[in-house]
Amino acid sequence: MTTTSRDPGDGAADLTLLHEAAKLLGQSATPELAITGTLRLMSQMLGLNRGRVLLPGPDDQAVLQIRYSYGLTPEEGKRGHYRADEGITGRVMRTGQLAVIQNIEEEPDYLFRAVDRTTLPEGVVAYIAVPIMDGSMPLGVLACHRLRMRPRPIQADLVILQILSTIIAQILRINSLIDERTRLLKDENQELKETLQKSQTNHGILGESPAIRDALRQVMRVADTSVSVLLTGESGTGKERFSHLLHLNGARRDQPFLAINCAAIPEQLLESELFGHERGAFTGATATKQGKIEMAHGGTLFLDEIGDLNLELQSKLLRVLESQVIQHVGGVKDIPVDVRIITATHQNLQEAVNQGRFRLDLFYRLNVFPIHLPPLREREGDTRLLARHFLLGANREYARYTRFGQGVMERLESYHWPGNIRQLENVVKRAVLVAQQGEIRIEDIETILHQESAVSGHPEANRAVPATARHSPSPSSAPAQGSGHPQPNGPSRPYQWVREDEAAMLQEALKRTGGNKTQAAAVLGMTPRQFRYRLDKLGLHDD
């Protein structure tokens, strides 16, 4: 070890040392390299030997331990730990005041714990310890030995040591920020892995709430049977997902699964979509075409929004269920089919039956085993799980690494999600796209939720609902939602991605036709049914 004595007032050497220390700070990949490098410079350039940095121990914060050193053996390093009431080091940490011991042999508080006197050079040895401060709080202690009989004034060394302790404080602060960030990322990564694992069971259906577990149990009970299942629940609660789960857990799993949304297809096309058609059956039917029922032969057909099927098609569907045959539109031949039909609705089908809009016999046929999917706001704890899952998916899709900032998860959990899981997925995806510097801030979420409320038209969509007020009265007594009107006691209107300008367009058409929906639909080139469907989705009913 070189100990070079300097002339008193050798300011150029001090500057060189500070310059080198600053370079170390910028270049070192780890705090270990930067701090031990600084301690080495102290020794080589100023003769401040056996430099050490003591910090509270990782296991016991009340005990200071030598964490970095230069010129100490590993055993000496290990021996150097001090409680706050022990020795000079403990005192510096306790008081935040530097200590200069001119002669360690004459100081009763000097413990000789790390370094034995016999290993030190002959002559008078001084000990200097300066606190490493974070504002007014001592973070640790920087200390070293110094041969007393040197031309350079001790005052000059003290100044340098105080500057170096500031640099070391900076290194430690940066390092602790990095550590904290790394720990968060590790935790998050672990959570994401767990979420991914959970999503792999149940074919991607996530949820651990009692409500969703109950629904899953019911699915498993009937998956391997041919019983008719009617899935009820608000829009976006996963009815289609669950129908697929039923299919995948049954004997038909290797056969086709097809889904059709009865409300989304224009009425005149729906029959041909379901039953197929013969060539020439209608204008544009240039070839014979199979319908979805026939295509799903051997497998499962999922009929979403079954409540929107007109009475004529309801009769035809009933015939399929009773006799397992279909006829193409324009055909006369009975075609045998073996299809499991699973249906879903967000409407109250019982009410539709009472109003004469839905056949009672078909209702009985379909409703053999109803499974109600609870709205997201009733799935305690699932929002968190799903939000993480969608974050992972969006990060993958958009090649980002984005995380939720402080308070975001709580905000997502307090929101009442009129559009349920589909809406949550959309919000998380959008948040990933708008996030700056890899963090989704609570403000980003507020903006998106605000836009959501404008789009979904729900008057309360942007209001945080207290946990106690979030549950709607009784899911079992109200298995499906009604007409789609906003409910005073809880959001229940179906949610779908619809553009805001579409609402304006519908309203404008209604205005022009004096509120006549059939005419308004014609103005926009839609069927009255399509028009009503959109009004319904946008919550624009005036009756």
Under DSSP, the state recorded for 297 is: T
Q: Which is nearer to ligand ATP, 233 or 250 (CB)?
A: 233
User: Cβ of residue 340: shortest distance to ligand ATP, in angstroms?
Assistant: 17
With tokens 């509120």, the residue in question is 515
**Nearest residue (CB) to ligand ATP, 329 versus 344:** 344
- SS3 sequence of 79-107: HCEEECCCHHHHHHHHHCCCEEECCHHHC
**CB-count burial class (<10 Å; 0-12, 13-18, 19+) for 200:** exposed
Q: Which two tokens stand for residue 245?
A: 């789960």
Is the CB of 128 or the CB of 260 nearer to ligand ATP?
260
Residue 21 CA to residue 36 CA, distance in Å, equals: 10
CB of 163 to ligand ATP, least distance (A): 56
Residue 481 in the binding site for ligand ATP (CB under 6 A): no
Query: Which stretch in 21-29, 135-143, 202-210, 508-516 sits in contact with ligand ATP by CB under 6 A?
Result: 202-210
Which stretch, 7-15, 58-66, 234-242, 463-471, contacts ligand ATP (CB under 6 A)? 234-242
205 binds ligand ATP (CB under 6 A): yes
Tokens standing for residue 303: 């009929």
Alpha-carbon distance 342 to 237, whole Å?
A: 16
Contact between residue 100 and residue 126 where contact means Cβ atoms under 8 Å apart: yes
Closer residue to ligand ATP, CB minimum distance, 81 or 377? 377
In the numeric block, which tokens belong to residue 250?
A: 């049954």
Nearest-approach distance from CB 296 to ligand ATP, in angstroms:
17
Q: Is 235 in the site for ligand ATP (CB under 6 A)?
A: yes
The residue type of 489 is: N
Q: Which of 35, 394 has the CB closer to ligand ATP?
A: 394
Is position 444 an interface residue for ligand ATP (rule: CB under 6 A)? no
- At 299, is the secondary structure helix, strand, or coil? coil
Among 241, 365, 471, 541, the residue binding ligand ATP under the rule CB under 6 A is: 241
Nearer to ligand ATP among residue 87 and residue 375 (C-beta): 375
The answer for residues whose C-beta is within 8 angstroms of residue 236's C-beta and 6 or more apart is 376, 419, 420, 421, 422, 423, 494, 495
The DSSP line for 453-495 is HHHH--TTTTSPPPGGG-S-S-TTT--S--SSPPBTTB--S--
Residue nearest to ligand ATP (CB): 238
In the region spanning residues 291 to 330, those forming contacts with ligand ATP, defined by CB under 6 A, are 304
- Taking the least distance from each CB to ligand ATP, the nearer of 313 and 421 is 421
Cβ neighbourhood burial of 286 (10 Å; 0-12, 13-18, 19+): exposed
Identify the residue whose tokens are 């009975």: 334
Name the one range near ligand ATP by CB under 6 A: 239-247, 287-295, 481-489, 512-520.
239-247
Residues numbered 38-57 forming contacts with ligand ATP, rule: CB under 6 A: none
Question: Is residue 236 involved in binding ligand ATP (CB under 6 A)?
Answer: yes
Per the CB < 8 A criterion, the answer to whether 242 and 373 are in contact is yes
Residue with tokens 């960030």: 181
Site for ligand ATP in 349-388 (CB under 6 A): 386
d(CA 69, CA 58): 17
Q: Give burial (CB, 10 Å; 0-12/13-18/19+) of 93.
A: buried
Nearer to ligand ATP among residue 205 and residue 428 (C-beta): 205
Scanning 201-209, 221-229, 440-448, 474-482 for contacts with ligand ATP by CB under 6 A, the matching segment is: 201-209
In sign, the C-alpha dihedral spanning 101, 106, 108, 112 is positive
Please tell me whether residue 240 binds ligand ATP under the rule CB under 6 A. Answer: yes
Q: Which is nearer to ligand ATP, 38 or 420 (CB)?
A: 420
Mask for 492-511, x = binds ligand ATP (CB under 6 A) = ----x---------------
CA atoms of 292 and 158, how far apart (whole Å):
86
Q: Which is nearer to ligand ATP, 46 or 306 (CB)?
A: 306
Q: Between 113 and 241, name the residue whose CB sits nearer to ligand ATP.
A: 241
Count of residues that bind ligand ATP according to CB under 6 A: 19
**Among residues 422, 429, 463, 471, the one that binds ligand ATP under rule CB under 6 A:** 422
In angstroms, how far is the first alpha carbon of the chain from the final one? 92
Distance CA 388, CA 410 (A): 13
Cβ partners under 8 Å of residue 378, min gap 6: 209, 211, 470, 471, 472, 475
**Amino acid (one-letter) located at 294:** E
**CB 236 to ligand ATP: min, Å:** 5
The residue among 20 and 240 lying less far from ligand ATP, judged by its C-beta, is: 240
Measure CA 292 to chain center: 37
**Residue 233, CA atoms < 13 Å, CB-side half-sphere:** 28
Question: CB-wise, 89 or 343, nearer to ligand ATP?
Answer: 343
198 counts as binding ligand ATP under rule CB under 6 A:
no
Nearest approach in angstroms of CB 372 to ligand ATP is: 11
Residues 50, 146, 152, 239: which binds ligand ATP (CB under 6 A)? Answer: 239
**Least Cβ distance, residue 175 to ligand ATP (angstroms):** 39
- Residue placing its CB nearer to ligand ATP in the complex, 89 or 235: 235
Task: Tell me the CA distances in angstroms from 28 to 23, 25, 42, 296, one per residue in order.
Answer: 8, 6, 17, 64
DSSP 298: T
Binders of ligand ATP in range 59-78 (CB under 6 A): none
> Taking CB under 6 A as the rule, does residue 206 contact ligand ATP?
yes
Contacts to ligand ATP by CB under 6 A:
204-207, 233, 235-241, 304, 346, 386, 421-422, 425, 496
